[in-house]
Amino acid sequence: MHSSYPAIAPQSAGVSPIYSASMSLIVQKYGGTSVADAERISNVARRVVETRQAGNDVVVVVSAMGQTTDDLIALATDVSSQPGGREMDMLLTAGERISMALLAMAIRDLGVEAASLTGSQAGILTDSVHGEAKITAIRGDRVREYLDDGRVVIVAGFQGVDPESRDVTTLGRGGSDATAVALAATLGADVCEIYTDVDGVFTADPRLVGTARKLDEVSYEDMLELAGAGAGVLMARSVEFARRFGIPVHVRSSFHDGPGTWIKEEAMEQTVITGVAHDTSEAKVTVHGVPDQPGIAARLFGALAAEDVNVDMIVQNVSTDGYTDISFTVPKEHMESARAAAEKLVPDLSARGVDVDPAIAKVSLVGAGMRNHPGVAADMFKVLSEHAINISMISTSAVRISCVIAADRCDEAVQSLHDYYLAEGATE
Ligand code: ASP
Ligand code: MG
């Protein structure tokens, strides 16, 4: 009774996100800070038991405790300069295995039957890309069997298995969100709750902007853009799943019972701008003085793709005397391979040289309302100019405007854009 993951019908589409009625199926995901120590694991166990005792079926997805994943990565680089994808995934999947077993024990202590499953045991099948694997199918039968037995099922987040090699894989940083939403879709859950250390999705990072407000609702579309623009609260890929299968997602705090942020098809609030996001995880690469001719960009970006470099923004400058500069941003981890690939092409392209700059920040305004509201870009540039913040790159989608600026001006840019668009009594 295993079905191909993308072919699964969105059984919960159209279901009301209010699930107080009993006998719902609820998927709950707890992030690393929510299970960081024994006391917090006991708190999570209590919350899971309450949900179960209210008459719901519960599937729990857990992340590794606290900074475990970072610590394991550091250990790997201490023992090896080239840990390799297979062994790295073997190592990292151990983090989630620890928290799932501990949580299952804590739940059983409270008198509720629970069983933990690794991603592989839960039937989460992926492609073979170690460290960045994509879920290709979920065999939910074992999870369903345990649920039918009346147990709470705990599934290790962020991991699966490649059915061809039978090796375990990981889904990329923050991948437990994707596990939770994909399981919710497969099982036809009524809601996917993402428990975290913040109260929900905010109009800006609350650590940076004191006046940032928690949003009651965000549309899938805006959330996708916010997550892609650096809002760390949810992994972008999990939002794609949620949208594709119509799963309402409730992002909320694991430290109290208050409501968080609902992510669903249409948000009630109709504002022009939903939030300001920022991202300091990218670096800028510039290839100077390339001939302004057909085929140059194709070769440059072809070479980068061949090295698995993820390119985000791209800007090609105005050409002077038949030559132009091409700048693009990449994740900082890809900066050196991007530099090497571009430098290798310099003689071939008869370019002048390659520069990299890791001290950049990308600041983005997101909001579906900007579609029918001209002038947002102009206002954004004006706010930045009033603070004498220089813009080095610009990119847009239908519902987002992003500017690359110097990293040391990031906080000020986010704060002033938030003041302008989103503070109480702000312009719009
Ligand atoms: N433990 C993994 C990470 O730190 C997965 C997750 O937390 O979602 O990225
Ligand atoms: Mg996480």
Q: What pLDDT digit, counting tens, does each position of 58-103 carry?
A: 999 999 999 999 999 999 999 999 999 999 999 999 999 999 999 9
CA of 123 to the centre of ligand 2 (A): 21
Count the residues in the chain. 428
What is the rounded CA–CA span in Å between residue 2 and residue 199? 36
Q: pLDDT exceeding 70 applies to what percent of the chain?
A: 93
User: Is residue 356 assigned to a domain?
Assistant: no
User: Is residue 157 assigned to a domain?
Assistant: yes
Per-residue pLDDT at 59: 98
Per-residue pLDDT at 11: 38
Q: pLDDT exceeding 90 applies to what percent of the chain?
A: 85
CA of 407 to the centre of ligand 2 (A): 24
Residue nearest atom 6 of ligand 1, based on CA coordinates: 174
Residue 176 CB less than 6 A away from ligand 1: yes
Sign of CA dihedral 387, 393, 396, 400: negative
Give yes or no for residue 270 having a pLDDT over 80. no
Better-predicted residue by pLDDT, 320 or 252: 252
CA of 92 to the centre of ligand 1 (A): 9
Residue 230 CB less than 6 A away from ligand 1: no
Residue nearest atom 4 of ligand 1, based on CA coordinates: 69
**Which residue from 209, 181, 262, 219 is spatially nearest to 400, judged by alpha carbons?**
219
Q: Which two tokens stand for residue 159?
A: 């991991």
Q: Which residues, at least 6 apart from 46, have a Cβ–Cβ distance to it below 8 Å?
A: 110
Residue 66 CB less than 6 A away from ligand 1: no
Per-residue pLDDT at 426: 65
Count Cβ neighbours within 10 Å for each residue of 343-374 and write b for 16 or more, e otherwise: eebbeebebeebebbeebbbbbbbbbbbeeee
Residue 119 CB less than 6 A away from ligand 1: no
Which of 158, 197, 237, 333 to probe ligand 1 with, by most ligand atoms within 8 A of CB? Answer: 158
Range of the domain at 180: 25-197
Residue 51 CB less than 6 A away from ligand 1: no
User: Is residue 51 assigned to a domain?
Assistant: yes
Beta strands of 75-143 (E only): which ranges? 114-117, 124-126, 135-138
User: Is residue 415 assigned to a domain?
Assistant: no
Give yes or no for residue 15 having a pLDDT over 70. no
Per-residue CA distances from 286 to 314, 326, 342, 395, 418 (Å)? 10, 6, 9, 16, 30
Are 200 and 249 contacting, i.e. CB atoms less than 8 angstroms apart? no
**Which residue from 362, 51, 354, 335 is spatially nearest to 193, judged by alpha carbons?**
51
Give yes or no for residue 319 having a pLDDT over 80. no
Q: What pLDDT digit, counting tens, does each position of 23-51 carry?
A: 799 999 999 999 999 999 999 999 999 99
CATH of the domain at 156: 3.40.1160.10
Q: Which two tokens stand for residue 127?
A: 């492609």
Residue nearest atom 9 of ligand 1, based on CA coordinates: 173
Residue 95 CB less than 6 A away from ligand 1: yes
Give yes or no for residue 208 having a pLDDT over 50. yes
Are 251 and 233 contacting, i.e. CB atoms less than 8 angstroms apart? yes
Which segment of 11-25, 36-50, 185-199 scores lowest on mean pLDDT?
11-25
What is the rounded CA–CA span in Å between residue 416 and residue 137? 44
User: Is residue 289 assigned to a domain?
Assistant: no
Give yes or no for residue 14 having a pLDDT over 50. no
User: Is residue 124 assigned to a domain?
Assistant: yes
User: Is residue 352 assigned to a domain?
Assistant: no
Instruction: Count up the domains in the chain and report the number.
Output: 1
User: Is residue 179 assigned to a domain?
Assistant: yes
Q: What is the average pLDDT value for the chain, to the nearest integer? A: 92
Per-residue pLDDT at 3: 36
